[in-house]
Amino acid sequence: MEVRERIAFEEKALPEALDRLKASPGFAGGMILSTCNRVEVAVTADDGADAHSAIEGFLADARQVERSWVSPYLYRFDCSEAIRHLFRVASSLDSMVVGEPQILGQLKNAYALAKEHGAMSGFLDLVLTRAFNVAKRVRTETDDRRKRRVG
C-alpha cells in the first residue's frame, strides 16, 4: 500500500503526467491508470526503444522517488502478454474482487483522458477499444449465466 501511495497520481495531476509520458524516449502512445488499488502505465513504443527503462524513469521522475527504489515493485508485460493483461483488467478478472464493475469505468476514464491529451496511439487505441467490447461481453454473458442459475 505504501508503494502504491507513493507512485499514485491524483486525478488533477494526470494531464501533466501524460505530457511527461509523451516526452519519454521512444514513446508512441500510452495511458496512465491510477486507482486506489493500482497504478499502471500502458504504452506502445517505437521499434528498438527501451520502454521498460523509459517507464521506470518516467515514474521515478514524476513521483520524485529513486529509480532503484521503484524498480523492484514494477511488473512488466510485453506484446501479447500486455494485451492479455489489459483485457483481464477491463474484464475485471485482474481485480481484488473479481467481477467488480468499477475498474472498467476507471480504465475507460484513463483511456478518454489519454485520448483527450493526444497520448493515445492507433494500436493502443485499437487494443483498448477491443478490450472494452470483450469486457462488455464478459459481463453480459456472466450476468446471463448467473440469472439462469438463480432463476
Catalytic residue among 16, 19, 23, 36: 36
**Sign of dihedral through CA atoms 41, 30, 10, 85?**
negative
Tell me, rounded to whole angstroms, the distance of Cα 71 from its chain centroid. 17
Closest to 139 in 3D by CA, of 103, 96, 113: 103
The region, left, alpha or beta by phi > 0 then psi within -120 to 50, assigned to residue 9 is beta
What gap in Å lies between CA 150 and CA 99, rounded to an integer?
Answer: 17
Catalytic annotation present for 79: no
| Cβ contact 124:44 at 8 Å | yes
Strand partners, 34: 39
Active site members: 36
